[in-house]
A = this chain, B = another copy of it.
């Protein structure tokens, strides 16, 4: 069976998940992003690639920041962008998701950027739209956040050049993290020989070893000699939940401090998808220190989203 993200020519027509995408496709996205990064330094930060195309930001779950990065990326491709917060709209009027989508598609959309609290919603949408419409997943439930993973891959490649000799640690609430899942798939596909998952046992999904990951519950062991550290955000609700004793306790054991960072390689980079909880998952001295590449991730994120939108929009129908 064909990967549902590819059309019959094998071109990327939707981006739903990094799972199952080939190294060649991931690399093509990173290479395309590379051509957009220098735009940021230019006086006019735009290219006419998507002029006259319509990008719909469909955010069924609120996220001003992610929505804004897609809005910026689309504007820099010269597309027209329309923002729809769907929770205050049709969803409350009893319309089904697929009717909402069919309606918006009839408004001659070219790209749907979808964030949804339900895992699988972007895939469901992609299955039901006409072939000239492209779906980009901006985060669905605990399932996937592929553009975040791709910008993380871009950042790693930028600083480390080669994936095939790296040790990468992902630290934190892996159980609830779509970022972790998407990163593990991408890292593995791109040839990273050792991916580590560092988390308390209550925040580890069962069977994660089958994704090709080494599991550590002791962060000091886990960080030893790694090249890349990907910190995950700890959602507020976890700090009060049954899974963790307290934010303070979490920081003590899993918060990234300079002391713990010293166990990694001396040129290790520290990443975080934001927004950060300083003093919970990461210490300010690390967040603002020389190893952190967190703002580079944000910067590269615009170019990566431009790359994804221009690639899927260019796929033949």
A residues at B contact (CB < 8 Å): 40, 42-46, 51-54, 62-65, 68-69, 71-72, 75-76, 80, 82, 84-86, 88-90, 93-96, 99-100, 102-108, 236, 274-278, 295-296, 298-299, 301-302
Contact = CB atoms under 8 A, between A and B. Distances in A.
A76 B54 CA distance: 9
A89 B46 CA distance: 27
A256 to B, nearest CB: 16
Nearest to A298: B106
A274 B45 CA distance: 36
Contacts of A52: 42-46
A54 B64 contact: no
Given A43-B52, A54-B72, A302-B107, A99 B64 contact: no
Contact of A295 (B65, B75, B106): B106
A65 B45 contact: no
5 contacts: A45-B53, A46-B80, A64-B86, A76-B80, A106-B295
Given A65-B89, A68-B82, 20 more contacts: A45-B53, A45-B54, A45-B108, A46-B51, A54-B72, A63-B89, A64-B84, A64-B89, A64-B90, A68-B84, A69-B107, A71-B82, A72-B107, A100-B275, A102-B295, A103-B298, A106-B296, A107-B298, A107-B301, A108-B299
A197 B106 CA distance: 28
Nearest to A89: B64
Contacts of A89: 62-65
Contacts of A76: 80
A121 to B, nearest CB: 18
A239 to B, nearest CB: 10
A78 to B, nearest CB: 10
A295 B277 CA distance: 45
Contacts of A301: 107
